[in-house]
Amino acid sequence: MPSFLNSEEIRLRARRARLVYAVAFSLAGLLLVWLAWALRGLLLPLAIGLVMAYLCLPVIGHLKAKGFSHSWAILFLSGLFCLGLFSALNLAGGIVPDKQTELELQVRARYKINDKFKKLMGLEGGSSRGNWLHALLGQELEPLKDGIDGILRLSAEEQQMLLGFYSGAEGQNGRPVLEKYWQYHLANQERDREVAKSLQPGKSGGSGVAIFAPRPGEGHNSMLRTIIAIASLWLLTPLVFLTMLFDDGRIKQSIIRYVPNRYFELTLTVVEEINTALGRYLRGTALECFMVGASFSGCLFLIGFDSRWAIIIGAIAGVANAIPFLGTAIGLVVGTMYVVMAEGVSPMLPFINDTNLIFAVVGAVFIVHLADNAIFQPYILGSAVNLHPLIVILGVMGGTLLFGFAGMLFAIPSIIVFKVVVSTTFRQLRAYYII
């Protein structure tokens, strides 16, 4: 401080400096919030790239301790990642149905949904009155059922393709369409004719199913543009992933360099606390999701699900479990959809059959959810997520409203970071007698 300044001028200058810093940080914060909102479409691929890099940093450190250089450790890890991705895609190729199987599933799902809806509502045998459930919920459930029916309806091109598969002229791998699926298709066509007869020209009524056909070439071009847009957007994920791995802490060092000496130790403490809390949460969540998915797959296999579909549904529910409450909901919905389409279930438990299979699915979801709350979360996550359930619910809902799926996925990590920053900052400020 220059010697010609008196104490009053020194105080005024310090006050002006605090004001300038406060305004600058406020403007920077507002700018960051505006950029996050304007570029919210990039948040999900950006955040996933950051999380992947964050999860891999301990592996990089372990490889460097074994004698690898930083670059060779990243190349080795990238090779393992590419090998795992190739294996996953190869496995997915065996799970994803071919066109013939897809058409069969579509026909089967549409027939089963309509058939079970009639039985549930008491509309069998041409009855239009239905039972008490139809009187209570029929008006609410029929539009939903008709909407699903419209999605599953085969187009004219798909019907011709199914006919070719059925006749054996175009059967894939020499496998013609099973007779029962063809009968399901004929029953679906008969239902379409009945619906068409019930609709008066120029009027809307009955179930009112509308079919929207795209203009020639419009659907193809729109789908192509969508695929290109999604691919270009998700190129950000591997770029962020590799950039963060090769960074080797330079971003953190450049940020901390601008911290005043008085707050240097405080800032390092906050950064380390965030690193510990996020690392425990992310790695614990990954292990928890695996345990939930494996448990759900095992339960579904026991109650009679086909092993392939049990693994698929369990994997979907396990991955979705990274978002609180979503894994349970998706497991219940997808499991129920399977029950609707199930035929010839062979459960390993003798008291389960086609009639009570839906209740068995609900029981499996309840058991896995109970195990998650009583075992997986307390022992795997520990105290990493010490949040009140109401805060979790409001955080997930608020993140979804603000930033869509990205907000839903990263609401809880953001709350954890905010909690750690606030609690650690005030604790360290008191410890260093700054406040």
- Quick one: angle between helices 357-371 and 264-302, nearest 10? 150
What is the per-residue burial (b if ≥16 Cβ within 10 Å, else e) of 74-101? beebeeeeeeeeeeeeeeeeeeeeeebe
CA distance 118 to 91: 38
- Position 164 scores a pLDDT of 82
What is the per-residue burial (b if ≥16 Cβ within 10 Å, else e) of 342-363? beebebeeeebeeeebeebbee
- Position 295 scores a pLDDT of 92
- Position 111 scores a pLDDT of 87
What is the per-residue burial (b if ≥16 Cβ within 10 Å, else e) of 282-321? bbbbeebbbbbbebbbebbbebbbeeebbbbbbbbbbbbb
Find out whether 174 and 190 touch, Cβ atoms under 8 Å.
no
Smallest Cα–Cα separation from 43: which of 409, 416, 413?
A: 409
Find out whether 47 and 409 touch, Cβ atoms under 8 Å.
yes
Residue with tokens 């349970």: 328
Cα pseudo-dihedral 287, 289, 294, 297, rounded to 10? 180
Q: Is the pTM of this model over 0.85?
A: no
For the chain (435 residues), the mean pLDDT of every run of 10, in chain order, is 64 80 84 78 76 78 82 82 76 69 84 82 72 80 84 86 75 59 86 76 46 44 55 70 76 74 77 80 84 91 85 88 82 84 74 79 90 80 68 81 77 83 79 66
State which H helix or E strand residue 22 sits in. Answer: helix 7-38
Between the CA of residue 111 and those of 105, 188, 193, 282, 422, what are the distances in Å? Answer: 10, 6, 14, 43, 56
Which amino acid, residue 378?
Answer: P
- Position 174 scores a pLDDT of 47
Find out whether 107 and 188 touch, Cβ atoms under 8 Å.
yes
Smallest Cα–Cα separation from 152: which of 200, 211, 86?
A: 211
| 3-class secondary structure, 81 | helix
- Position 229 scores a pLDDT of 57
- Position 385 scores a pLDDT of 63
Q: Is 304 left (phi over 0), alpha (psi -120 to 50) or beta?
A: left
Residue with tokens 């296999």: 301
Find out whether 368 and 331 touch, Cβ atoms under 8 Å.
yes
